[in-house]
Amino acid sequence: MEDAAETATALGPQGTDWLIVDHYALNRSWEQALRPQVRRLMVIDDLADRAHDCDLLLDQNLGRRAADYAPHVPAAARLFIGPTHALLRPEFARARNISLARRTQPALRHLLITLGGVDQDNVTGQILSVLADCALPDLQSIEVILGAAAPWIAVVRQIAAQMPWPTTIRVGITDMAETMSRSDLAIGATGGTSWERCCLGLPTIQMVLAENQIEAAQALEVAGAALTVDAGNLSDTLPKVLGALDPTRLTALSRQAARITDGSGAQRITREIVELS
């Protein structure tokens, strides 16, 4: 409970109106230790595997149910479950209509690759190497997004320079909504970025890069909002999935993805916090 004591010290004797926590190591014991200094407490979770003492709980994953948390939270706690409540930056809701409108005549011209901020195993480089041998007759350009801390930036740049199509590497961008909106297909990891892609109706080939992404990936595929490839066998699975894509499939993926979230989850949660206050 050392961390709880340090947090209490940081809050000071005046406490706070709201404490919002998002950490797999925190549970009811930690939260109860902070209760004397916290008038309201919100938990962000996606595992539903431990008890919480909270007033509001958010799990933005697709496929999760309120019943999953019923044994773990107080009866009076308000639950916000599913990507309708996903905490996206306002830029995604603002870009939604434009992004959806440009998908009325789908074709795979502009491909986006985004594997998260670090991509420790250089999955990005592996994807580019596989794509180089794929027949993609309509493809005009590839855009690759990497975080500033990604360890393989130089290697990815070298691979990109040898690609059959113009391939741009961008690092630490701040215009992801605009970038997604002008893309026809994304290849990316399942995770928080999934809800950004859904908001913009961006067809996606997804891969699971962490254990906590498995359930969301399965739910997205069942919903028809994404296609899945095996990150451990890209040379076999990625060409097959790409080969099966046509305008009809791209349209279906876009429509199903857009039904998952409209990008206004942060505003919904904010209104609830204000109401509870």
3-class DSSP assignment, residue 225: coil
> In the CATH scheme, what is the homologous superfamily, with its name and number, of domain 90-258?
Glycogen Phosphorylase B; (3.40.50.2000)
pLDDT tier for residue 148 given thresholds of 50, 70 and 90: very high
5-29 confidence digits (pLDDT tens): 999 899 998 989 999 999 999 999 9
List of residues 6+ apart from 36 with CB closer than 8 A:
15
Domain 2-87+263-276 fold is Rossmann fold (3.40.50)
Distance from the Cα of residue 129 to its chain's centroid? 24
Domains 2-87+263-276 and 90-258 equal at CATH topology level: yes
Residue ranges per domain, the chain? 2-87+263-276, 90-258
Contacts of 175 (CB under 8 A, 6+ apart): 91
pLDDT of residue 60: 95
- Distance separating alpha carbons of residues 190 and 115, to the nearest angstrom: 9
Tell me the pLDDT of the chain averaged across its residues: 95
pLDDT at 254 over 80: yes
